Amino acid sequence: MQYTVDIKDNSAKIKITGRLTFKFHREYKEFLDELLKNKVGSYEFDLSGVEFIDSAGLGMLLIAKQKAQVFNAAVVLQRPPENVRRMLEVAKFDKIFTIQS
């Protein structure tokens, strides 16, 4: 898992590439804690470069949403590849998150 962050105006754009799996959960937690120090109105996760996501990866996205809700920030998932989109739909994340193509 690799990521870049661009914070502009009231939005954080996060591009994640590689595999979003259990292997990276500690790194993700540290990244998320740092990211959420920037209390912005929305966190936009660009998933277009995610090759694979497992149940732990889904949980990581859910944790981001739960933590952001504490200060009423939105979490948006953008451009997931088809295999990632299917995982999001199976997990009913399309009911929990805004998912943009």
Per-residue pLDDT of the chain (101 residues; tens, 9 = 90+): 899 999 999 999 999 999 999 998 888 889 888 888 888 999 999 999 999 999 999 999 999 999 999 989 999 999 999 999 999 999 999 999 999 99
Q: What is this structure's pTM?
A: 0.90
Q: Domains along the chain?
A: 2-100 (3.30.750.24)
| Separation of alpha carbons 55 and 67, rounded Å | 18
Q: Give the residue among 18, 16, 67, 61 at the shortest CA–CA distance from 39.
A: 67
User: What pLDDT, on the 0 to 100 scale, is given for residue 34?
Assistant: 87
